[in-house]
């Protein structure tokens, strides 16, 4: 720590005497760190000072008016001066009463420097103490980094390194995984559970942004600094370190080294995950081929379990730059609950097999990563091929919903709408729009409402009176518009097949 005014007052060779009433000073006034000691008799030295300096003066700048001393001290306090030293027996035999009163009013510690002690001696002692502190902090940083490096060589290197960081700093350290979930905390009780939830929200926000960043987060009475781990677009987690902005430069350097070490360790874990991903793809191909018994055995041995019973298949679509982070989260969750969730990529398509217990996670994924997810109906593992087709149909329906980012669509919902309701999710939509183009062109050029009239007419079972009432026009108007539509399309709409085809086109194009 930097030397304080209390430290200087205790140095016997300086023989400094505190003039201020210690009980009248602000709390901690003597314990502020001193950045330097400077001497000047300028009436206003503040333009040449920095914060946290001790100022030394012989008082030649003071006039006979008490106002001079009061304004002088007020300027010093506003500039952040730690204390004022008055050299006695140079110009005056003692410290002026006006200066003592001014320092008392403004809460600035005032001390006397005897004539035999030159100001340069105080500056030299201050410089030596600052240098000793810098050397001690540098040595501490080297020792801490050495201990952390040795800890990183242990079997669970990342855990050991973070524990050593917490010990060196005397602060809590928490690691959050790629999903924002708490991975580990050192010491285990360093952060209260209620406060940890707030830190987790801030960590999740940083991860969602997908860029390397640092931020501060409040945990109860403590402030923590959050550091993302990994590279842009491939964040592996967040490291939260207690102490916040109170950490000095040496401590911040140690934290920076651990951030780099943790990023490397998590990146290496990612390489292992990539191998697991290829293994997952193979397992899914086996499932699609009906090898359920083999997959169940292998899944239990490799991952500790597999989803069983009635499961749903999910097909997940997400932007390319966010897919990596989403897969990181899935990997983390499947390690945590292998019997509820399994995922992999087949032919570039991201598939997940989930029990009912994992459905809330999938919905949270959709919201967090702005993903679209199609869910199949419940089925057994040996029906994966059929379930995959259902999930694809649900995903296609999700893709045509306006503003459907972050949506989850169930196949049951799509099926409840019937066959026609799913036409908009297929290539039939383009065919339908092309078939209706002559009507749209006629409406645009002539100001007619043929398409709207046809829709109302078909919705009302081709009844002219009902359609006219729905449109608010005369039935003869509806009849005339239908006749015009027949001519424009070159079709006879008196037959059921023609009406059915036209209705399918209207549904598919909407």
Q: How many CB atoms lie within 10 A of CB 427?
A: 9
**At residue 387, does pLDDT exceed 80?**
yes
* pLDDT the model gives residue 39: 94
Q: Name, of 101-115, 395-409, 459-473, the range with top average pLDDT.
A: 101-115
Euclidean distance between CA atoms 189 and 241, whole angstroms: 14
Residue 76 pLDDT level (bands cut at 50, 70, 90): very high
Query: Tokens 């009239």 identify what position?
Result: 453
Residue 403 pLDDT level (bands cut at 50, 70, 90): very low
* pLDDT the model gives residue 112: 95
Per DSSP, the residues of 435-480 read HHHHHHHHHHHH---HHHHHHHHHHTTT-HHHHHHHHTS-HHHHHH
Euclidean distance between CA atoms 227 and 239, whole angstroms: 5
User: Which tokens belong to 130?
Assistant: 């600052």
Q: Specify the DSSP element, H or E, that contains 230.
A: strand 222-231
Calculate what percentage of the chain has a pLDDT beyond 70: 91
pTM of the model: 0.46
Q: Which fold has domain 154-269?
A: Beta-Lactamase (3.30.450)
Euclidean distance between CA atoms 384 and 346, whole angstroms: 13
**At residue 380, does pLDDT exceed 80?**
yes
* pLDDT the model gives residue 423: 53
Query: Tokens 């400077």 identify what position?
Result: 38
Q: What is the pLDDT of residues 277-336, one digit of tens each?
A: 778 888 888 888 888 888 888 888 877 888 888 899 999 998 876 787 788 778 778 878
Closest C-alpha to 353, from 323, 372, 379, 329: 379
**467 contacts: CB under 8 Å, gap ≥ 6:** 453, 456, 457, 459, 460, 475, 478
Residue ranges covered by each domain of the chain: 5-127, 154-269, 305-416, 425-509
* pLDDT the model gives residue 316: 92
Residue 417 pLDDT level (bands cut at 50, 70, 90): low
Q: To which CATH superfamily is domain 305-416 assigned?
A: Reverse transcriptase/Diguanylate cyclase domain (3.30.70.270)
Closest C-alpha to 40, from 19, 58, 62, 17: 58
Residue 507 pLDDT level (bands cut at 50, 70, 90): confident
CB 313 within 8 A of CB 376: yes
Question: Average of pLDDT values for 380-405?
Answer: 76
Q: What is the pLDDT of residues 447-486, one digit of tens each?
A: 999 999 999 999 888 899 988 988 889 989 999 999 999 8
Which pairs count as long-range contacts for 384-388, CB under 8 Å and 24+ apart, including other chains? Answer: 384/284, 384/287, 384/288, 384/313, 384/353, 385/288, 387/311, 387/312, 387/313, 388/288, 388/313, 388/315, 388/351
**At residue 422, does pLDDT exceed 60?**
no
Lowest-confidence pick of 31-45, 273-287, 368-382: 273-287
Euclidean distance between CA atoms 377 and 379, whole angstroms: 6
Q: What average pLDDT does the structure give for the chain?
A: 84
Calculate what percentage of the chain has a pLDDT beyond 90: 28
Q: To which CATH superfamily is domain 5-127 assigned?
A: HprK N-terminal domain-like (3.40.1390.20)
Per DSSP, the residues of 401-421 read STT-TTEEEEHHHHHHTHHHH
Which residues does residue 227 pair with via DSSP β-bridges, in sequence order? 214, 239
CB 225 within 8 A of CB 240: yes
Residue 491 pLDDT level (bands cut at 50, 70, 90): confident
**181 contacts: CB under 8 Å, gap ≥ 6:** 200, 332
Helix 249-288 vs helix 119-152: crossing angle, to nearest 10 = 20
**Distance, C-alpha 275 to centroid of its chain:** 27
Euclidean distance between CA atoms 296 and 289, whole angstroms: 13
């Amino acid at each position: 720590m930097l030397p304080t005014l209390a430290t200087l007052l205790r140095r016997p060779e300086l023989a400094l005497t505190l003039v201020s009433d210690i009980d009248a000073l602000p709390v901690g006034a003597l314990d502020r760190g001193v950045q330097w000691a400077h001497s000047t008799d300028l009436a206003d030295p503040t333009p040449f000072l920095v914060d946290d300096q001790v100022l030394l003066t012989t008082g030649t700048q003071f006039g006979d008016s008490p106002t001079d001393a009061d304004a002088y001290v007020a300027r010093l306090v506003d500039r952040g001066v730690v204390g004022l030293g008055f050299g006695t027996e140079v110009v005056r035999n003692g410290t002026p009463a006006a200066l003592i009163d001014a320092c008392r009013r403004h809460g600035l510690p005032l001390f006397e420097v005897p004539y035999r002690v030159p100001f340069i001696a105080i500056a030299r002692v201050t410089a030596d103490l600052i240098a000793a502190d810098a050397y001690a902090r540098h040595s501490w940083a080297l020792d801490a980094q050495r201990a952390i490096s040795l800890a990183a060589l242990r079997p669970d290197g990342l855990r050991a390194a973070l524990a050593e960081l917490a010990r060196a700093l005397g602060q809590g350290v928490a690691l959050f995984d790629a999903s924002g979930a708490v991975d580990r905390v050192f010491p285990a009780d360093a952060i209260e559970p209620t406060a940890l939830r707030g830190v987790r929200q801030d960590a999740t926000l940083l991860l969602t942004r997908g860029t390397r960043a640092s931020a501060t987060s409040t945990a109860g009475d403590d402030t923590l600094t959050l550091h993302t781990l990994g590279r842009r677009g491939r964040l592996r987690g967040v490291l939260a370190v207690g102490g916040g902005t109170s950490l000095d430069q040496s401590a911040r350097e140690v934290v920076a080294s651990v951030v780099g070490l943790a990023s490397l360790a998590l990146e290496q874990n990612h390489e292992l995950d990539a191998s697991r991903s290829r293994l997952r793809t193979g397992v899914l191909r086996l499932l699609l081929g009906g090898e359920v018994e083999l997959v169940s055995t292998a899944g239990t041995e490799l991952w500790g379990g597999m989803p069983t019973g009635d499961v749903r298949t999910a097909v997940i679509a997400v932007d390319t730059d966010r897919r990596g982070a989403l897969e990181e989260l899935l990997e983390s969750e499947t390690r945590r609950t292998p019997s509820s969730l399994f995922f992999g990529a087949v032919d570039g398509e991201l598939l997940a097999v989930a029990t009912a217990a994992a459905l809330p996670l999938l919905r949270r994924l959709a919201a967090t990563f702005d993903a679209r997810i199609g869910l199949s109906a419940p089925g057994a593992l040996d029906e994966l091929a059929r379930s995959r087709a259902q999930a694809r149909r649900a995903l296609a329906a999700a893709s045509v919903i306006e503003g459907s980012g972050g949506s989850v669509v169930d196949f049951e919902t799509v099926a409840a709408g019937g066959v026609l309701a799913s036409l908009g999710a297929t290539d039939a939509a383009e065919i339908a729009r092309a078939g209706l183009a002559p009507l749209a062109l006629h409406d645009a050029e002539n100001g007619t409402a043929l398409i709207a009239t046809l829709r109302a007419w078909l919705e009302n079972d081709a009844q002219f009176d009902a359609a006219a009432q729905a449109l608010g026009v005369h039935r003869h108007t509806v009849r005339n518009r239908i006749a015009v539509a027949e001519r424009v399309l070159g079709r006879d709409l008196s037959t059921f097949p023609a009406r059915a085809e036209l209705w399918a086109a209207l549904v598919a194009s909407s």
